[in-house]
Structure 1
Amino acid sequence: MSDIAVLHIDDEPDFLDVASEILAQQSDKLTVIPAAGASEGLDRLATRSIDCIVSDYRMPEKDGIELLKTVREEYPDLPFILFTGEGSEAVASDAIAAGATDYLRKGHGTERYELLANRIENAVEQYRTTQRAAELERVRALVSSIDQALIRASSLSAIETRVCEIISNSEPYRFAWIGEHDPETDRIEPQACAGVEDEYLDTIVVTADDSPTGQGPAGRAVQNRRIATSQNIQDDPAFEVWREEALKRDYRSSAAVPLEYNDTLYGLLCVYSSRPSAFAEDEQELLAELGHSISHAMHSLKIRDELRTERTFIDQALDSLADIFYVLDSEGNIQRCNEHFATLAGYTDAQITNLDVASLFPEDEQDAVAEAIDEALTTGHSTIEAEFLTAEGNRAPHEFTADRLTDSDGTLLGLVGTGRNIAERTRRERELQDQKEQLEQFAATVSHDLRNPLNVIQGRLELVQAEQPSDHLDVIETATDRMERIVEDLLWLAREQQDIGSLEPVAIDAVAEAAWELVSDPADEAELYCDYGADTQPLIKADTDQLRHLLENLFRNTIDHAGLDVTVVVGEIFGDANGFYIEDDGPGIPEEDRETVFEAGYSTSESGTGLGLNIVKRVVDAHGWDIRATESSIGGTRFEITGLETVE
C-alpha cells in the first residue's frame, strides 16, 4: 500500500502534537497532518489530498459528529474514525449512523495508537479498493460513451467537441480541451473545449518546447508522445506558469493525452480534475486507450474525407468527359458510369446501376457486344464499333473499348472502358471515301482524256519539226512539256497523296543520281555533284520511289529557276539534325518568300507548275521529316531536309 495521508483533528494542541507523533511512529506508511479544531481541519481537507480523517468527538466549534456530517456532504466515502476520550455507546451509535467508518476510544499507552494505525490502514485499503473500482467503472463508462460518439461523428470538429463535452460532464473532471501542435511555432493551439472554462484558454499559452510554457503535461505529452500528468497543481513546480488561473477554476490535477495514430499526431487531449491525484496509473492506462480510439477515429475520418474529395474530383473529371465512361461487373452489369452515359441512355444513376449493358444496344448489335465483353474478360482488352440506343430511341454509332479490371491481388472485378461517339468520324470517312472516288475518277479522266490528246500533239509536233523547224514550234514544245509535267503532278496528287510504302535502306547519292538522269538533259550544261564520301555515306530509311520523286521535283525546280547551266550539290548534314541538303548557284529565294515556296501554286518561273515544291513538302511530311529553304554556300538556294532515320 502506498503512503497514507491522515488528517488528525483535535482541539487540544499539546495532545494533538504528541498523539500525531506517536501515531506516525506506528507505521512508516502514515503521514499525519495535524489540525487544531474543526475549522482548521476542513481547510486542510480542502487543500490537501487526504486518505483518512481521525477526529476527536468533543470540540468547541463543532463536535466530531457535526464535523463528520459536514465532511460527508462532499466526501461521502472518505474513511472517518472518531477517536475520543469521552464516549459512550450512544456516541458510538450516533457516529456510525452519521457515516463514521470506525469508532475508537482514546487510552493510555502505545497499544491504542497501534490499534488506531491498524484501523486506519484497513479502512483506507478498503476505501481505496472501492474507490478505485468505482473510478475505473466511471472511466470505462466514459470511454464507452466516447466510443459511441466517435461512431456517430461525421467530422473532426464533431469528434473534438463531443469528446470534450462528454469528459467535462463526468465527475470529477471539470474541463477538457483538444489542441493541435503547430510545428513552426511549437505552440499548442486549442481547437475545441467544454466544461468550467471561464476563458481559461484565453489567459494561458501552452507550447511543446523547452521554455516554462512547455514543461507542463501538454508539452511533455507532445514531446514524448505518451500521457503526462500533473497530480497536484498546487505543489507542482512544472505547472507554476498556469497555477493561479487553474486554481481559480478549481483545477487540482491535470492529464494530457497525445492523440497519435501511426506516428501521426492528430492533436492533444487535456483533462482537468477537481481532485488532486485524480489520475492513478490504471486510470492513465484507460485514458491512453481512449486517446488511441480518438486518434484512430480522427485518422479514419481524415482518410474518409480524402477519399471523398478524391471521389468527387474523379466524378467531376469523368462527368466532364464528352465520352462515355463505364465500369461493368464480370456478368456485364453496369456498376458505375459517368453522367454522359446515364443521360445519353435516359436513366438515373440508381436506375442504370446493375443494368445489363447489352440491353442498351439494338437487338442486332447485342451478340457482337456480348462477344466483345467476353473477349475483354478473356484477353484483357477489346474494341468494338456498335450503335448505342439513346433515350430518344436513336442509334448513335460509338467506338467502345474495354479493359479487364482487377483488384490488387489480381482477382477479376469486371471491365472498365470508354465509348466515343463516332458519328462525325463516320460522316467524315464517307466524305473522304467520296472524295477519293472523285479523285480516282479525276485521275482516270486526266490520264485518258487529257494525256492521249497530249501524246497526239507531241507526236505530230515532232513530225512537223522534222519537216520544217520553227521558233514557234519550239514554244509549242515547251508548252506541251509543261502540260505533261502538270498532268504528272496532278496524277501524283490524286493517286499517291501522302501514302508511304515500306521503308528500306537507301543511299541518298544513288537515288539523287537516278533522279537527276530523269530530269536533266545531257545537252544542257547543268551539273550535279554528290558531296558524300564513299566509305562514310550513311543509309537512310525511306520509301525509295517517293524519295526519288521528291528529288526529281527539287532538281526540276532548280533547273527551272536557276537555268540550264546550274550547278547542284547534294551533301550530308551532320550533328543532331541528321539529314541532307540540296543547294545550287542560282539566283536564290528571297528571304520573305522562303516560308511560302512550299504552298501549292507558288512559282516564279513561266515553265513551272506551282506544284513541285508542294509535292516535296508532302513527301517530307509523310516521312516525318522537316524541310526548310535557306541561302546556299555557293550563292543560290539551299534546301535542308532533316530528321532522317539512319541505318547503322
Structure 2
Amino acid sequence: MPSIDVLHVDDEPDFLDVATEILEKQSSNFNVITETSATEALERLAESNVDCVVSDYRMPEQDGIELLESIREQYPDLPFILFTGQGSEAVASDAIAAGATDYLRKGHGTERYELLANRIENAVEQYRTSQRTAELERVRALASNIDQALIRASSLSELKTRVCEIISDSEPYLFAWIGECDSDTDRIEPCAHAGVEEAYLDEIVVTADNSPTGRGPAGTAIRERRIAVSQNIQEDPEFEVWREKALDRGYRSAAAVPLEYDGTLYGLLCVYSSRSFAFCENEQELLSELGDNVSHAMHSLKIRDKLRAERTFTDQALDSLADIFYVLDSEGRIQRYNEQFAAVTGYSEARLTNLDAVNLFPDDEQDAVARAIEETLTTGQTTIEADLLTGDGKRIPYEFTGDRLTDQDGGLRGLVGTGRNISERDRRERELEDQKEQLERFAATVSHDLRNPLNVISGRLELVQEESSSEHLDVIETATDRMERIVEDLLWLTREQREIGSQEPVDIETAAEAAWNIAADPADEAEMYSDCGTDTQPLIKADVDQFQHLLENLFRNAIDHAGLDVTVVVGRVSSDDAGFYVEDDGPGMPAGEREKVFNPGYSTSESGTGIGLSIVKRVADAHGWDIRVTESSTGGTRFEITGLETAN
C-alpha cells in the first residue's frame, strides 16, 4: 500500500508524540503530521497533501466537530476520524452527522492504536478508491468536453475561449487562460481566458525570459517546452511576483502547458487550482495530453484558415478574369467555374453545377465539343473554337483551351480550362480581310492604271530623246524613274506578306552584289564594296527575296541621300556576331533624325520615296532582327542589323 499521510490534531503535545510513535510502529506506511490546534490544522491542510485527519474532540478555541465542519467546507470527502477520550454517544452522533468517517474512543494499551491504524487504512483505501473513480470520471468528462469543443470550433479564437471555459468549470480548477509569446519583447500576452479572474491578467506581467517575471510556470514552460507547475503558491519562491494577487483570488497552485505541434509553438495554456498540490503526476499527464490535443487542433485550424485564405484569393483572382474559367470532371460535367462563366451563360448555380458541358453549346457544335473534351481527357490538351449558347439563346463565339487534370498519383480527375470571347477578334479579322481585299484592288489599280501610262511615257520619252536633247527631258526621265520606284515599293507593301517565307542559307556578300546591280545605275560613279572578310564567314538564315529587297532599299537610300558618286561598304558588325552593316561616305544623318527614318513617308531627299526604309524595317522585324542607325566611319550614315541566325 502506498504511504499514508496522517494529520493528527490534539491539544496535548506529549500525547501526540506517543501516539505518533505508536501509529508509525503499527504501519511503516504511516507518515504522521501533528498539530495542536484546529487553526494550525487548517493551515497545514492548505499547505500539504493529507490522506486522513485524526482529531481529538475537546480542544481550546475550536473542538473536533467544529474542526470537522470547517474541513468539510473545502474537503468534503477527506477521511476524518474523531479520536477522543471525552466521548459519548451524543458526541459520536454529532460527529457522524457532521460528516465524520469514523469515531473511536481513546484507551490504554496498544490495542486501541492497532484499531485506529486499521480504521485509518480502511478509510484511506475507500477514500482513494472513491477519489480514483471520481478522478477518472472527471478526467473523462474534461477530455470529452474539450475534444468536442476542438471538433466544433470554427475559429482559433472560439477554440481558445471554449478550452478555457471548460477547464475553469471543472473541479478543482478556478481559472484558465491561453497566451502567446511576443518574440520581440518576450512577454506572454493573454488572448483568451475564463473563470475566476477579476482582472488578474491586467495586473500581472508574465515573460518567457529568465527574469523574475519569467521564472514561474508560464515562462519555464515556454523556455523548456514542457509542463511546469507551482504546487504551493503560498510557499513557492518562483511565484513571489504574482503571489499576493493569486492568493487574493483563491489560487493555490498553478500549471502551464506549452501548446506545441511538430516543432511549432502555438501558445501556452495556464491553469489555476483552488487546492495546493493539485497537479500530481496523473494530473500533469492529463494536462499534457490536453495540451497536445489543443495544439493539434490549433495547427489544423491554422492550416484550414491558410487554405481558406488561399482558396478565397484564388476565387477572387479567377472571378476578376475577363475570360471564363471552368473545371469539368472525367464525365465532362461542370464542377467549378468563375463569376464570368455564370454571367456570360446567364445560368444559376443550381443549373450549372454538374451540368454536362456539351449542353452549353448549340446542336451543330455539340459533337465537336464532345470530341474536344474527350481529346483533352485522353491526350492532355486541346483548343477549340465554338459558339457558347447563353440562357436566352444567344450564340457567342469563344475559343476554349483545356488541360487534363490529375491527382497527385496521376489518376484522372477531369479537365481545367478557360474560354475567351473572340467576337472582337473575329470582327478585327473581318476588317483585316476587308483591308486586304482593298489593298489588293489598290495594287491592281496601281499595276494597271499607273504602270501602263508610265510605260507609254517612258517609251515616248526615249523616242523624243532620239530626236532632240533638252534638260527638260532629263528632268522628265528622273521623275518617271522615281514614279516607277514608288509604284514598285507600293506594290511590294500591298502584295508581300509581313511574315517571312522559308529561310535558306544566304551569303551576305553575294546577296549584296546582286542587290547593287539592281539598285545602282552602271553609268553613275557610285561604288559598293564588301568588307565582310574571308570566305570562312558563316552564312545567315533568311528569306532570300525579302533579304535582297532589304539590301536594294538600303543601297537606293544611300544613292538618294549621298549622291551618285557615293561609296557604300557592306561588312560584318563584329567577329562574334552574324550581323552586318551598310554604310556610306555621304553627309550623314543628324542624331535627332535617326529615330524617324523608318516612318512611312519620311525622306530628306527630293528623289526619295519615303517608303524604302519602312520596307527595310518591316523585313528586319519579320525576321526578328534588330536595326539601328548610327554614324559611319567616314561621317556618313551607317545601318547596323543584328540578331541574325547563322545557317552553319
Compute the TM-score of the two structures, normalised by the length of structure 1. Answer: 0.95
Kept after mapping to 1: 8 A contact 2:361/2:389:
yes
Hey, what does 2:74 align to over in structure 1? 74
Give the CA deviation at 1:383: 1.0
Match of 1:524 in 2: 524
1:430 maps to 430
> What corresponds to 1:216 in structure 2?
216
Q: C-alpha distance in 1, partners of 2:519/2:65?
A: 135
Aligned residues of 1:497 and 1:618 also touching (Cα < 8 A): no
Q: Find the counterpart in structure 2 of residue 4 from structure 1.
A: 4
Cα drift, residue 285 of structure 1: 1.9
CA distance in 1, matches of 2:285, 2:14: 45
Q: Which residue of 2 aligns with 1:418?
A: 418
Q: Does the CA-based 8 Å contact 2:540-2:578 persist in structure 1?
A: no
The 5 Å alignment of 1:186-205 reads 186-205=186-205
Counterpart contact for 1:531–1:572, Cα < 8 Å: yes
235-244 or 26-35, larger mean C-alpha shift = 26-35
Per-residue CA shift, 1:188-215, capped at 9, x if unaligned?
A: 1111111111222122222222223222
Q: Deviations over 1:152-199 (max 9, x none)?
A: 222111111121112111121111100001222222111111111122
Q: Distance in 2 between matches of 1:564 and 1:99?
A: 132
TM-score for the superposition, normalised by structure 2:
0.95
Does 2:531 correspond to 1:514?
no
The answer to whether the Cα contact below 8 Å between 1:179 and 1:269 also exists between their aligned partners in 2 is yes
- Report the alpha carbon displacement of residue 138 of structure 1 after superposing the two structures with TM: 0.9
Greater mean alpha carbon deviation, residues 217-226 or residues 87-96: 87-96
Task: Check the 8 A contact 2:24/2:30 in 1, yes or no.
Answer: yes
Distance in structure 2 (CA, Å) of the matches to 1:324 and 1:108: 101
Distance 1:437 1:140 in 2: 87
The answer as to 2:594 corresponding to 1:614 is: no
Deviation at 1:331, TM superposition (A): 1.6
CA offset at residue 577 of structure 1? 6.7
By how many angstroms is 1:114 displaced?
Answer: 4.8
Equivalent runs, 1:242-641 vs 2, <5 Å: 242-574=242-574, 579-641=579-641
Q: Which amino acid aligns with 2:346?
A: G
Question: Could you tell me how far apart the structure 2 residues matched to 1:413 and 1:514 are?
Answer: 62
Q: Give the letter for the 1:100 counterpart.
A: A
C-alpha displacement of 1:76 = 2.0
Which letter does structure 1 place at the counterpart of 2:180? E
Question: How far off its partner does 1:54 sit?
Answer: 0.7
- In structure 2, C-alpha distance between the alignment counterparts of 1:236 and 1:530, rounded to whole Å: 100
- C-alpha distance in structure 2 between counterparts of 1:364 and 1:7, whole Å: 97
Compared CA separation, residues 110 and 505, structure 1 to 2 (3 A) = farther
What letter matches 2:253 in structure 1? Answer: S
Residue-by-residue CA offset, 1:55-112 (whole Å, 9 max, x unaligned): 1133354443443344333322111122223445665565445433233333334454
Whether the aligned pair in 2 keeps the contact of 1:136 and 1:283 (CA below 8 Å) is no
Describe the shift of the 1:74–1:591 C-alpha distance in structure 2 as closer, same or farther (beyond 3 A).
closer
CA distance in 2, matches of 1:531, 1:112: 131
The residue type equivalent to 1:338 in the other structure is N
Q: Distance in 1 between matches of 2:317 and 2:352?
A: 20
Instruction: Deviation per CA, 1:504-540: give whole Å up to 9, x if none.
Output: 2222112111111111222222111211211452322
Shift of 1:260: 1.6
Distance 2:49 2:249 in 1: 18
Partner amino acid for 2:323?
D
Amino acid at match of 1:472: H
Distance 1:271 1:606 in 2: 98
Q: Which string of whole-angstrom CA distances, capped at 9 and with x for unpartnered residues, describes residues 398-427 of structure 1?
A: 111111111111111111111111111101
The CA distance in 1 between the partners of 2:42 and 2:557, in whole Å, is: 119
Contact 2:48 2:277 in 1 (8 A): no
Q: Which amino acid aligns with 2:502?
A: S
Equivalent position SS for 2:276: coil
Amino acid at match of 1:316: Q
Partner of 1:239: 239
Change (3 A) 1:549 1:318: same
Aligned residue runs from structure 1 range 133-148, under 5 A: 133-148=133-148
CA distance in 2, matches of 1:31, 1:199: 41
Amino acid aligned to 2:188: I
How many residues matched? 648
Can you list the C-alpha shifts for 1:270-304, whole angstroms capped at 9, x where unaligned? 00000112122222222222112212222222122
Q: Which amino acid aligns with 2:354?
A: N
Taking the aligned partners of 2:114 and 2:67, their CA distance within structure 1 comes to 24
C-alpha change, 1:231 and 1:129, in structure 2 (3 Å) is: farther
Matches within 5 A, 1:34-113: 34-87=34-87, 91-92=91-92, 95-110=95-110, 112-113=112-113
In 1, Cα distance between equivalents of 2:214 and 2:536:
78
Give the 3-state SS of the residue equivalent to 2:124 in structure 1.
helix
* Matches for 1:147-166 after TM superposition, within 5 Å: 147-166=147-166
Q: What percentage of residue pairs aligned between the two structures are identical?
A: 77
Q: What RMSD in Å do the two structures reach over aligned CA positions?
A: 2.2
